[in-house]
Structures are given as structure tokens and as C-alpha cells.
């Protein structure tokens, strides 16, 4: 049986920057900074693919409550990795969709594991606070693959003005950028949802962002205030 990181006493006494989820949060942010450098060439995409897989597998291992959750994460990760390799070898619409479907399922499992971790007990720890931040990023990654699937099926689902997209091709990194723009509700910039399906997905993602703040963060703050009161 895997123990949650927050349930291990010596981890509770670690400084905040050495908490497992704090380190994961830093790693996820750094991985985003790698996309502009690597996503447009073959070797760079392979490197990003391996880094993302490793980060999520380590995260699931760190916060999962059971071997079953880790094994499921390993299975989903291997399947998505196989789908991505297939897409790199035979790039076409079908393998592209299969690759993003695999990643969407993989991130959905990671989101489930993190939600279970944050809601495991009535004790709010510093690591769980960082886990909430990681969960927010994982939601954005999850929805980015939903947009990527939609764009593979309908390239005109999203629109970028000609000045910012002269070749008319929307890459995955732009889907990721749009996903973060949507979930944070900061307002659309140069990327606009055009099709009905795109707008429906945008609505669901915006609800996810609002409900995340209303439910998960509010619960953690309530638990921390209760602990201070005790």
C-alpha cells in the first residue's frame, strides 16, 4: 500500500520548497517553458513526450493511495506513449487523434488521483496546497488535448488572426495556450472559438475553472483555518 506523501511525518516537517507537490509544480512550469523551444521539431517532441510522461508517473506514484492507482497510471501512460510514438512514425489524422485521446485519458487519471489526494482526509497540509496548484495545471493540460482532438477533426474550430498565424496551422502548443487562457478566464486574445463544439468545450472548461476555485480551494482554506483554530 502506497502512503500519501502528506501522511509521512518527516515530509510534513520539510520546508515548502521540498514538498513533493511543490517540486512537481516547479517541474510542470519548467516543462511549459520547454514547449516554445522543442515542440516544432521531431527530436524536441520526443523529449517533451518523455518528460511529460515521467513527471506525471512520478506524481501519481507520490500522491496515489494504492498500488492500483499507480498501476492504472502506468497502463494509461504506456498506452498513450505507444499512441504518440505511432503518430510520430505515421503522422496522419487518425494517429494524431489516437495520440491526443490517449493523453487525455492519461491526464484524466492523474486529475482523479490528485482530487482523491486533496480530499483524502480532514487535515490540510502544505503539500496538499501545492497539489491544488498542480491539479489546476493538470486540468489545463487535460483540456488542451480536448482542443487538439477537436482541431484534428475540424481545423476551423478555432480561429487565429492572420497576423499571428500566417501559415493557418494551429499547433498543440497553441491549444495549450488557449486552454490556460480559458481555464483562468482572463479573456480570449488572438485565439477565438468559432465552431459550436469549440464553444461547448470552452463553456465546460470555464465551469471547471470556476468550480475548482469554489470547491477545492475553499475546502482547503476551511481546513487550514480549522487547524489554526485548534
Q: What is the mean pLDDT of residues 107-116?
A: 91
Q: Is the pLDDT of residue 101 over 90?
A: yes
Q: Is the pLDDT of residue 1 over 70?
A: no
Cβ neighbors of 4 (< 8 A, separation 6 or more) are 63, 64, 65, 117, 120
Q: Is the pLDDT of residue 14 over 80?
A: no
Confidence of residue 20 (pLDDT cuts 50, 70, 90): confident
Q: What is the mean pLDDT of residues 10-35?
A: 76
Distance between CA atoms of 81 and 155, rounded to whole angstroms? 24
Q: Which of 159, 39, 154, 148 is nearest to 103 (CA)?
A: 148
Distance between CA atoms of 160 and 158, rounded to whole angstroms? 7
Confidence of residue 108 (pLDDT cuts 50, 70, 90): very high
Question: Where do the structural domains in the chain lie, given as residue ranges?
Answer: 5-229
Containing 137, the helix (H) or strand (E) segment is helix 126-153
Q: How far is CA 8 from CA 3, 67, 200, in A?
A: 7, 17, 42
Amino acid at each position: 500500500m502506497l502512503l500519501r506523501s502528506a501522511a509521512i511525518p518527516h515530509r510534513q516537517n520539510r520546508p515548502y520548497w521540498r514538498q513533493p507537490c511543490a517540486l512537481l509544480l516547479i517541474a510542470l512550469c519548467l516543462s511549459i517553458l520547454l514547449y516554445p523551444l522543442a515542440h516544432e521539431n521531431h527530436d524536441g517532441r520526443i523529449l517533451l513526450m518523455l518528460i511529460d510522461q515521467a513527471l506525471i508517473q512520478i506524481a501519481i506514484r507520490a500522491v496515489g493511495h494504492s498500488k492500483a492507482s499507480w498501476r492504472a497510471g502506468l497502463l494509461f501512460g504506456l498506452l498513450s506513449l505507444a499512441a504518440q510514438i505511432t503518430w510520430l512514425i505515421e503522422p496522419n489524422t487518425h494517429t494524431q487523434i489516437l495520440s491526443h485521446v490517449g493523453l487525455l485519458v492519461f491526464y484524466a487519471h492523474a486529475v482523479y488521483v490528485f482530487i482523491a489526494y486533496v480530499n483524502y482526509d480532514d487535515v490540510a497540509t502544505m503539500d496538499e496546497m501545492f497539489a491544488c496548484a498542480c491539479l489546476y495545471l493538470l486540468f489545463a493540460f487535460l483540456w488542451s488535448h480536448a482542443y487538439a482532438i477537436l482541431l484534428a477533426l475540424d481545423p476551423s474550430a478555432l480561429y487565429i488572426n492572420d497576423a499571428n498565424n500566417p501559415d493557418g496551422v494551429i499547433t498543440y502548443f497553441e491549444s495549450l495556450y488557449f486552454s490556460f487562457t480559458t481555464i483562468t478566464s482572463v479573456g480570449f486574445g488572438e485565439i477565438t472559438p468559432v465552431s459550436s463544439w469549440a464553444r461547448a468545450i470552452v463553456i465546460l472548461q470555464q465551469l471547471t475553472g470556476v468550480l475548482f476555485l469554489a470547491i477545492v480551494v475553499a475546502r482547503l482554506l476551511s481546513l487550514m483555518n480549522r487547524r489554526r483554530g485548534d
